[in-house]
Chains A and B, each alone.
Chain A
């Protein structure tokens, strides 16, 4: 497949504006502002069937249309570059290797949405990308692709880079807005949705890095042509960040709808010699794990939900038989506990509880009731949290419990791990009357 998002990526200077322009960059922007109306662009995006690449898969065109119909101005454009879920690193190549594609995509979007101000909310732990992006933004200003009079078309768009402070929750759009406004990063009540009342209560369009990166191509070739790539319901190219026990982990640009098997065995070189597949997390740790027999499932928003998982961000994590999944899930729960913002009760208290139970089971102190308690706690969290973070934590636990109950029961029964025959290290916090540490991130 022709690379669209990672075009030119092998060029060592791909992040520079000269190289980007030499490879045909900013041509589409020029075309868009001279030959297309904002309406045209929104229509093309709608026709393309592009779905948001951040994880939820909301149709981008529809989001844009709602925002463009809102009479309030100014409208803010935000790029969600707070890529923080374990296993997800798909935006990184765009941010570090192809920043101008993102900027071009944002400027075209700004033109379509008549936005005059945009922010890139960058994950705090991406210092390299921060440098590259800020240089890219200055370069774009220098060439007149950003600023007061873009391409002399009296079209104004200012773009700012805002670095997060290291909270996973700020990838959630309303928490991101709170954080951007200088407040504590916690999700807001929805509705109103950001498209109507986002930053400073003004209409705000938030899209993922990869979503914006798709915009120049859609604008260039038209929504119809674009929609032929990938599967019918979820068209387009997709970046998959594959990690875990494969021979060639990395970021792959592949069409939507490709099967997991193709990704693992066709593109990533399969598993290492003599190993067997134990499970795959298809879209980041907040998506339920799949057992090996389900890897022929197509990777898109529709098919994955049919087999009980979610597409998520396309972060494929592969586990072979040398991995203890109880340990994996204890670690995943530790992540969720650490990243729970603390706003709602079930997520704040439930994630830690689940981690504690998994930790106890792993270290050999588990009982039969623990399995029931774990399931009960997960069920009590699921569907009752304020935002999807807690839901995700609960649902992946439930899926894990359902599909790998044998492995958990082995730990409970034998007090040791089936992989190495030893109990895990007990990582549970000792609560010894000390003041709770203020977590530094």
Chain B
């Protein structure tokens, strides 16, 4: 610790602190413009000039590190004069257009001029001018206003790692420009908007409609797009979001939210960063197509009805089905987009009111099978690792998907690790990590197993066995070194594999990131096992990428056919030998507790999982299906099969925010509330519990009241609707607010025991939440017998889903903003392959599988393997998943895409890809 004196106060700080940080630690504010917490210091604006005793010149507080006995003054006449001079210099070229500038009111320059002057200019010549630049769909550059603090470029080259913008020109003529010149063509994270201290880089989404004083409410919540769970602030006016901002703590002056905070608040796990979806994607919530009233199919047509009518219709419908066909003919699909409270309530309705364990969600595709497989190898909570910790590791292995697209903020941590000279090894196309790897390991899809197997055998030879886990070691020993022929077929050289094994062996604190692509193909368990083996051998922390904000919560709330809330297996007898007698004596067995609150025991037999429910429906055994926040027709593979299955369901209830492809087939459609419209909790992929807060003022005892668009549309949270149905079916409990629901969860689930909203509010509720974590499943796992990997015939093209950074499932097609960046589907082909086929970017092709075809424009990419065609599953009328089939992996229980061999032919007609209406279409 170093002790220095700042403004006659003694301050003790660590030796690496700058004067600015030391001053901030005792609440002394030094004005800054180019400084931004988390970015490299720059020292260009000269606003933080301070006096240091025995140093002749004024020094910049942001760059000078403290020394023992240093005596600093942060305010004096000379300092004030210097700051005024700097501001006067800035105003030479900065226009005085505050009255028409959206930044006015939260502009650092404006605020500082108000404090220090110069109130009158002495510069007589004209200002430098730049025309406003509207080339981009949502970033407006107004370079007249730029003060060249370079916070944006330091953000872009630093934490974001996009390298999209740079200072062009020299001296006072320099300005910020994307490398492309016009459109940004970047990752559109918009983090440059967060850091711009003036109105030089602004969002077009709220252009001329945002002023700081328009903000009526600022609500700190958690982003609802992916499983990272970034902390963000909704700035609300009249029930509408006018802007979303990352939650930036004190020191970063952007937004009134930041400066309003008292003690330095945590910045959330995203540390003030957001991705394109979180920052710009919110506008889908206000799309005109939002469902506003319940609909009941009458004479074949969905007609609006009152809530009361809808709820009693659903309740009596379910009662009838149960009476005639029994509870086991009813099923439900929960949603990774809904809160824990919603999912808990759906589970309660199914399990304890109706009496069926037929509940599952799309987490079944890969997330929950992979997690339970990993937990069987390593024990519970193996994926509960903290995202910010990735940057503190010394190496990362990524397999199965691009984290910078699936979970962008997690991806940024990988990039941060790269900047700290950590090793990044990606098995697969690195995509967003392209600039962050030393060498590429791009096996042909379907042949990852060979490469991973080769790495595992070499790594095991290098590292040896620790003897901690006999089971996994047994399987590792049984792993044969794939022959060179196979590696050659996989298109990976032996040297690269050696290098990767070498690098992995050197890692002392490793991280393994597992994505969905590893599991959605035949041999999934082998792939997952091999990655687990690498994790075991390097003693790595494991991260499982999650495409939905609350896949983990869906599992934790018991929305699975075999587990109860808190993760207890439903078939207690299976575990009899593992449960201690003491637990029974203390009534810790969850069934007892649930019985207290829900007057009935859960059915003891396992229910049907997602795939089994579809099969049951096809066989006519599933008579009623409650689909909440999911769109099986569009988001699940094999559309024909899904449609067929749904058509055989007598009573289909769809609970969603839009009239989705699935909702159109429903008997009852219930409008849902989006994540910004309800209170609750999400559990992210780190298994961190975080509070989701409604931006709309809530009145106790009623639904959230929204008085925007549609005048009085009732944004009723799903749990409330479900509880209403439950009460009509005989449930006794009455819940007024989401915290009542949560309170019940905390009583029912031993995992969440004693957790209140107050405790969750801090965002530091991390697994196992202070409870006794459930243990007792380790060691029981199987690996598919090693053998030849699935047929990967030369020359065949496999259709796979492209997971886009700019889109999330099927909801973002309702976001004008996101549609303006990525407005139509395409088929992504290897550039070399396309060239050989005589195809170039933009050419229309027909992609045909056994069951269907899509007409799409071609997009070429040099980086992807030759034998794949990637198509995003995010656009209207273009569902690549819909035209391929699936099977269920016998070992994992995850989805395995099949029938995805395609032929590609040139087309002449128009494509299926719908052109989106975007902001970019209009010229201002």
Name A residues whose Cβ lies closer than 8 Å to a Cβ of B: 167, 184, 189, 337-346, 348-353, 356, 360, 369, 373, 380, 383-386, 428-439, 441
Stretch from B86-94, B390-398, B464-472, B727-735 forming part of the interface with A: B86-94
Chain A contacts of B126 at CB under 8 A? 429-432
* A343 to B88 Cα, complex, angstroms: 16
The A interface is mostly helix, strand or loop, or mixed, namely loop
Stretch from B42-50, B190-198, B831-839 forming part of the interface with A: B42-50
Chain B residues 115 to 169 lying within 8 A of chain A, measured CB to CB, are 122-131, 147-148, 166-169
Q: Are B173 and A384 in contact (CB under 8 A)?
A: no
- With a 10 A CB-CB cut-off, give which of A345, A380, A386 has the most chain B CB atoms: A345
Chain B contacts of A184 at CB under 8 A? 166-167
* A380 to B116 Cα, complex, angstroms: 15
Q: What are 16 A-B pairs at a CB distance below 8 A? A: A342-B148, A342-B170, A342-B171, A348-B172, A349-B90, A349-B172, A353-B92, A356-B123, A360-B124, A360-B125, A380-B81, A380-B89, A429-B125, A433-B129, A435-B129, A436-B169
Residue in B86, B123, B169 whose beta carbon sits within 8 Å of that of A384 in the complex: B86
Chain B residues 42 to 85 lying within 8 A of chain A, measured CB to CB, are 42-46, 49, 56-58, 63, 81-82, 85
A383 and B58 contact, Cβ closer than 8 Å, known pairs A344-B43, A352-B171, A434-B129? yes
Chain A contacts of B905 at CB under 8 A? none
Residue in B89, B124, B129, B169 whose beta carbon sits within 8 Å of that of A349 in the complex: B89
Q: Are A438 and B93 in contact (CB under 8 A)?
A: no
Say yes or no: is B746 at the interface (Cβ < 8 Å to chain A). Answer: no
Q: Are A346 and B46 in contact (CB under 8 A)?
A: yes
Chain A contacts of B166 at CB under 8 A? 184
Q: Are A348 and B148 in contact (CB under 8 A)?
A: yes
Closest to A369 in B: B122
Count of A-B contacts with CB under 8 A?
A: 117
Q: Are A349 and B45 in contact (CB under 8 A)?
A: no
Say yes or no: is B765 at the interface (Cβ < 8 Å to chain A). Answer: no
Q: Are B43 and A189 in contact (CB under 8 A)?
A: yes
* A159 to B779 Cα, complex, angstroms: 61
Q: Are B173 and A437 in contact (CB under 8 A)?
A: yes
A436 and B125 contact, Cβ closer than 8 Å, known pairs A345-B46, A383-B58? no
Chain B contacts of A349 at CB under 8 A? 89-90, 92-93, 172
Q: Are B130 and A438 in contact (CB under 8 A)?
A: no
A340 and B82 contact, Cβ closer than 8 Å, known pairs A189-B41, A348-B148, A384-B46? no
Residue in B43, B128, B131 whose beta carbon sits within 8 Å of that of A386 in the complex: B43
Q: Are B167 and A384 in contact (CB under 8 A)?
A: no
Q: Are A428 and B125 in contact (CB under 8 A)?
A: yes
A353 and B123 contact, Cβ closer than 8 Å, known pairs A341-B171, A439-B169? yes
Q: Are A431 and B46 in contact (CB under 8 A)?
A: no
- With a 10 A CB-CB cut-off, give which of A338, A385, A429, A435 has the most chain B CB atoms: A435
* A431 to B81 Cα, complex, angstroms: 29
Closest to B40 in A: A189
* A150 to B128 Cα, complex, angstroms: 55
Chain B contacts of A432 at CB under 8 A? 126
* A429 to B129 Cα, complex, angstroms: 12
A345 and B86 contact, Cβ closer than 8 Å, known pairs A356-B125, A435-B130? yes
* B345 CB, nearest partner CB in chain A, Å: 56
Closest to B144 in A: A436
* A439 to B128 Cα, complex, angstroms: 13
Interface string of B171-190 (1 = CB under 8 A from A): 11111000000000000000
Name B residues whose Cβ lies closer than 8 Å to a Cβ of A: 41-46, 49, 56-58, 63, 81-82, 85-86, 88-90, 92-93, 122-131, 147-148, 166-175
Inter-chain pairs besides A340-B172, A349-B172, A356-B124, 18 sampled, C-beta below 8 Å: A189-B43, A340-B170, A342-B169, A342-B171, A344-B46, A345-B45, A345-B46, A345-B86, A345-B147, A346-B46, A349-B90, A352-B92, A352-B171, A352-B172, A360-B125, A436-B175, A439-B171, A439-B173
Residue in A339, A383, A436 whose beta carbon sits within 8 Å of that of B130 in the complex: A436
Closest to B177 in A: A438
* A351 to B85 Cα, complex, angstroms: 13
Chain B contacts of A435 at CB under 8 A? 129-131
Chain A contacts of B57 at CB under 8 A? 383-384
* B353 CB, nearest partner CB in chain A, Å: 65
- With a 10 A CB-CB cut-off, give which of B42, B57, B148, B170 has the most chain A CB atoms: B170
* A360 CB, nearest partner CB in chain B, Å: 7
* A266 to B130 Cα, complex, angstroms: 54
Q: Are B175 and A384 in contact (CB under 8 A)?
A: no
* A341 to B44 Cα, complex, angstroms: 11
* A195 to B257 Cα, complex, angstroms: 44
Q: Are B43 and A384 in contact (CB under 8 A)?
A: no
* B156 CB, nearest partner CB in chain A, Å: 14
* A437 to B125 Cα, complex, angstroms: 17
* A352 to B170 Cα, complex, angstroms: 12
* A21 to B131 Cα, complex, angstroms: 61
Q: Are B89 and A346 in contact (CB under 8 A)?
A: yes
* B135 CB, nearest partner CB in chain A, Å: 13
Chain A contacts of B170 at CB under 8 A? 167, 338-342, 439, 441
Closest to A190 in B: B63
* A42 to B125 Cα, complex, angstroms: 54
Closest to B166 in A: A184
Closest to B41 in A: A189
Q: Are B63 and A189 in contact (CB under 8 A)?
A: yes
Q: Are B171 and A384 in contact (CB under 8 A)?
A: no
* B734 CB, nearest partner CB in chain A, Å: 63
Closest to B150 in A: A343
* A384 to B84 Cα, complex, angstroms: 12
Leading 5 A-B pairs by shortest Cβ distance: A431-B126, A380-B85, A349-B89, A340-B171, A342-B174
- With a 10 A CB-CB cut-off, give which of B44, B63, B174 has the most chain A CB atoms: B44
* A341 to B46 Cα, complex, angstroms: 15
* A348 to B94 Cα, complex, angstroms: 13
* A384 to B83 Cα, complex, angstroms: 10
* A350 to B123 Cα, complex, angstroms: 10
Q: Are B41 and A337 in contact (CB under 8 A)?
A: no
Q: Are A436 and B44 in contact (CB under 8 A)?
A: no
Chain A contacts of B56 at CB under 8 A? 383
* A356 CB, nearest partner CB in chain B, Å: 5
Closest to A357 in B: B124
* B387 CB, nearest partner CB in chain A, Å: 28
* A256 to B82 Cα, complex, angstroms: 38
* A184 to B169 Cα, complex, angstroms: 10
Chain B contacts of A380 at CB under 8 A? 81-82, 85-86, 88-89
Residue in A344, A428, A437 whose beta carbon sits within 8 Å of that of B44 in the complex: A344
Residue in A339, A356, A369, A373 whose beta carbon sits within 8 Å of that of B171 in the complex: A339
Residue in B86, B92, B148, B168 whose beta carbon sits within 8 Å of that of A438 in the complex: B168
* A375 to B128 Cα, complex, angstroms: 23
Chain A contacts of B128 at CB under 8 A? 431, 436
* B820 CB, nearest partner CB in chain A, Å: 25
Chain B contacts of A340 at CB under 8 A? 170-172
Chain A contacts of B171 at CB under 8 A? 337-342, 348, 351-352, 439
* A125 CB, nearest partner CB in chain B, Å: 15
* A394 to B585 Cα, complex, angstroms: 84
* A341 to B148 Cα, complex, angstroms: 11
Closest to A188 in B: B43
* A356 to B92 Cα, complex, angstroms: 12
A337 and B172 contact, Cβ closer than 8 Å, known pairs A349-B90, A384-B58? yes
Chain B contacts of A351 at CB under 8 A? 171
* B435 CB, nearest partner CB in chain A, Å: 14
Q: Are A436 and B63 in contact (CB under 8 A)?
A: no
* A54 to B125 Cα, complex, angstroms: 36
Q: Are A342 and B92 in contact (CB under 8 A)?
A: no
A346 and B43 contact, Cβ closer than 8 Å, known pairs A340-B172, A436-B128, A436-B129? no
Chain A contacts of B85 at CB under 8 A? 346, 380, 384
Chain A contacts of B167 at CB under 8 A? 184, 342
* A50 CB, nearest partner CB in chain B, Å: 27
* A431 to B127 Cα, complex, angstroms: 6
Chain A contacts of B58 at CB under 8 A? 383-384
